[in-house]
C-alpha cells in the first residue's frame, strides 16, 4: 500500500480523500472547499493499493500546549480486513508522534461497527460520545490506552 499526501493544489488527491470520507462518514459530508481547508491545518493522506483507492487518513496535530493528536484511518468497506487499516494507522501514528503527540485519540461514527472494532483491537478506549446538531448518529471519541 502506498499513501499520497493531500495538498490543496492536488485536485485528484483532494477528490479521492473527500470521496472516501463522505462514503464512510455520511452524516458529516464535506465539500471540496472544506477538504481544502482541512488540508491546510491537518495532515491528510489517501491510500492506494496499486492504482486502486482503498482509504484515507487524517492526522490532527496537537494544538499549542496540548499533548494530544487525533489519528483517523478510513478504509473503504470492500478493502477492510486485509491489513490496510493497520498499515494506514501505523503510518499515521508515526506522523502524530513526529508532530509531538504524547496522547493519541481517534473518532469513529457509531454506525461503523467495523471501525469501532478496529479501534478497540488497536487499544483504544471510548471516553466520549456526541451527536452533531441535526444528526442522529453519535460520533465516538476514543483514546489509546
Q: Mean pLDDT across the stretch 117-127?
A: 95
Burial degree of 71 (CB within 10 A; 0-12, 13-18, 19+): buried
97: left (phi over 0), alpha (psi -120 to 50) or beta: alpha
- Tell me the average pLDDT across 26-50: 93
Q: What is the pLDDT of residue 5?
A: 72
Alpha helices in the chain (DSSP H): 11-24, 32-41, 84-98, 113-121
Decide if pLDDT at 73 tops 90. Answer: yes
Q: Which residue has the higher pLDDT, 6 or 121?
A: 121
**What would the CATH number be for the domain defined by 2-144?**
3.40.630.30
Evaluate if residue 4 carries a pLDDT over 70. Answer: no
Q: Can you give the residue ranges of every domain in the chain?
A: 2-144
Query: Position of cell 468497506?
Result: 77
pLDDT at 14: 94
Amino acid at each position: 500500500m502506498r499513501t499520497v499526501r493531500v495538498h490543496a493544489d492536488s485536485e485528484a488527491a483532494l477528490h479521492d480523500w473527500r470521496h472516501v470520507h463522505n462514503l464512510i462518514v455520511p452524516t458529516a459530508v464535506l465539500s471540496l472547499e472544506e477538504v481544502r481547508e482541512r488540508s491546510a491545518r491537518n495532515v491528510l493522506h489517501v491510500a492506494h493499493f496499486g492504482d486502486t483507492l482503498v482509504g484515507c487518513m487524517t492526522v490532527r496535530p496537537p494544538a499549542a500546549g496540548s499533548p494530544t493528536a487525533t489519528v483517523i484511518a478510513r478504509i473503504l468497506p470492500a478493502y477492510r480486513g486485509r491489513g490496510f487499516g493497520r498499515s494506514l494507522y501505523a503510518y499515521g501514528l508515526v506522523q502524530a508522534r513526529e508532530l509531538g503527540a504524547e496522547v493519541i485519540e481517534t473518532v469513529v461514527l457509531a454506525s461503523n461497527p467495523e471501525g469501532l472494532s478496529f479501534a478497540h483491537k488497536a487499544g483504544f478506549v471510548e471516553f466520549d460520545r456526541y451527536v452533531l446538531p441535526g444528526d442522529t448518529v453519535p460520533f465516538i471519541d476514543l483514546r489509546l490506552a
